[in-house]
Amino acid sequence: MTEAFTQKPSVHRPPHAPATAADVMRPALTTVEPRGHVAAAAYLMKHAGVTALVVVDDDQAKQPVGIITEADIVEAVADGKDVDDVRIRALITTHLTVINAGTSIRDAARSMMTGHFRHLPVVGEAGLIGMVDITDVCAALPGPPQDNQPASRDRHTPGPAAAAAGRKGAEHE
């Protein structure tokens, strides 16, 4: 298993070049092997501050064979499984979608939306090189949200008093 490193890389690119996975990926991350216990994966996620781990067959080769997420662990616990007994290989998603460092942020977002997932391992010639998550991708997408509305927590619907005050002000114009 490897330790997590969550600092973003310092990538210099031309000002108008589209953002790529290399710009937002977390370059070194914690990995687990399929024969490990789910409890160990949960422990590593907590201490690394991540919500998913790439599963590799050989820690040296770094070839991804699957991914385990916090949602997989929550589902196992909700189903009454003992995380000290269940092996990671029993929960992993094995039909893994991966991207490379040069994949555009828009293409990464499209893959996430199409596949209904929040994490994408980034691979290079030597195997696993990083991970992007939906938060990284959303933060890197240019422009306002698609619905042209502020985030829901920033939306404000005026109450009756504010609406009435607005109407009174309109009468004097």
What pLDDT does residue 75 have?
Answer: 97
Distance CA 27, CA 9 (A): 7
What pLDDT does residue 16 have?
Answer: 55
Distance CA 46, CA 28 (A): 16
What pLDDT does residue 28 have?
Answer: 62
Q: What is the pTM of this model?
A: 0.71
What pLDDT does residue 146 have?
Answer: 55
Number of CB atoms found within 10 A of residue 140's CB? 19
What pLDDT does residue 59 have?
Answer: 63
Closest C-alpha to 27, from 141, 137, 132: 132
Angle between helices 70-78 and 38-48 (to 10 degrees): 140
Distance CA 47, CA 80 (A): 24
Closest C-alpha to 38, from 102, 88, 82: 88
pLDDT in tens, the chain (173 residues): 444 444 444 445 455 566 999 999 987 668 999 999 999 999 999 999 999 999 998 766 688 999 999 999 999 999 999 999 999 999 998 899 999 999 999 999 999 999 999 999 999 988 899 999 999 899 888 766 555 544 444 434 444 444 444 444 444 33
Alpha-carbon dihedral 113, 118, 119, 120, rounded to 10 degrees: 0
